[in-house]
Structure 1
Amino acid sequence: MPITPSGQRLRLYDSDELDCILQAMARQAAALLPPTQAVLIGIQRRGEPLAQRLQRLLSCQTGLPELPLYPLKVKRYADDLKVLHTQTQLTENPLLGALDLAGNTLLIVDDVLFEGHSLLRTCAYLAQLGARRIYTAVLVDRHVCQQPVHADIVGVHLQVAAHDIVECNVPPYEAEFCIDVLRHGVTLDGRSKKTLE
């Protein structure tokens, strides 16, 4: 991995490892979601392609048609985690407003649960539209959430320094499906770089 001026980039999970993790997440989702009347919500940007992967895996595992999937644009941070907005911005999806959300079970999919602002804003929006049963799934939970939300399905539990940046690289936005951490001025002490599931 290349060394950056501000620290060190470490590869925590490669594509093969993440494929196995997503398989496990899909099994958990299949246990939570009813076979019909379930909907996936992919938080853009990287939550949407992750939801697409789960959509395909769920269909393969259950033998049922792919669940409907709706993207939702929620913006608080740039890719380098600099705050863009004082309030989390959500762009409404008019297709969701036309659904009977009260009669469906929803699974919100995002890449990283950090402080929880995006997930909380999404849950509040869907509740306003009438949703009654909402589950959440994240590829990475950093366990520093400051909001009254949690992830029902977690692929990877990471406990890294607060100033470290966890990068979920998800095609088509990045070429390779992987998780890196950018460590700022931290000397490795030989301990394990990751804790899994």
Structure 2
Amino acid sequence: MNKKYILTAEKAHMKLRRISFQILERNTHLNSIHIAGIKENGYLLALELKKILQEISSFQIELSAIELDKSNPIDCKLDAGVRYTSKNVLIVDDVVNSGKAMLHAIHPLLALSPNQIQTATLVERSYKTYPLHVDYVGVSLATTLEDHISVVFKDGILQGAYLE
């Protein structure tokens, strides 16, 4: 099957910039935010969002990684060195397919009593099998179950998103 660009590198960066402004607009009452990226690509996107938010806002921004196997996301590991209690947390992933991985990333945070949890993704598929609303979306696509979406990084640099 051929790869088709969904987002070029330039358009993907434009989407991340727009998401950053939306985060800023929705959270003007905050002075800090904790961005937690789902490894691997979600964490790389979280790094990009952090850079942009540092340019456009006065937020104090913390960053951490969430480790989970997307094919079996039940075993989710948060960064043990981070206190999430009373924090404003933004969970970031590259693609939200069924919603399962994002929900499993949210679940352990709930026990730690954050002030709020918001979610962001570069690509959201319009069919989800789990009840998840993503707060900040770069692009939402109607796809078939057979389609595969990839967000590609090379040496930590966002290259774009593809449909296969």
TM-score (norm 2): 0.91
State the identity as a percent. 21
Give the SS at the match of 2:103: helix
1:123: how far off? 1.0
- Bigger radius of gyration among the two: 1
Is 1:161 aligned to residue 144 of structure 2? yes
Q: 38, 43, 46: which one pairs with 1:51? A: 46
User: Residue in 1 aligned with 2:37?
Assistant: 42
Give the Cα separation in 2 of the matches to 1:105 and 1:41.
10
Report Cα offsets for 1:149-191 as digits up to 9, x if no partner: 2100000111121101001113436x65111111xxxxxxxxx
Q: Aligned in 2, Cα 1:176/1:30: closer, same or farther, shift over 3 Å?
A: closer
User: Residue in 1 aligned with 2:75?
Assistant: 89
Which structure has greater strand proportion? 2
Q: Say what the alpha-carbon RMSD is for the aligned residues.
A: 1.7
User: Residue in 1 aligned with 2:25?
Assistant: 31
For the 8 Å contact 2:119–2:136, the answer to whether it is kept is yes
For the 8 Å contact 1:37–1:103, the answer to whether it is kept is no
Return structure 1 stretches of 4+ with deviation > 3 angstroms. none
Structure 2: 5+ residue stretches without partners: none
Q: Aligned in 2, Cα 1:105/1:65: closer, same or farther, shift over 3 Å?
A: closer
User: Residue in 1 aligned with 2:124?
Assistant: 141
Give the SS at the match of 1:157: strand
How many residue pairs were aligned? 163
Structure 1: 5+ residue stretches without partners: 1-6, 78-84, 183-197
Give the SS at the match of 2:142: coil
Give the Cα separation in 1 of the matches to 2:55 and 2:85.
27
Give the Cα separation in 1 of the matches to 2:23 and 2:158.
24
TM-score (norm 1): 0.76
Q: 94, 110, 133: which one pairs with 1:150? A: 133
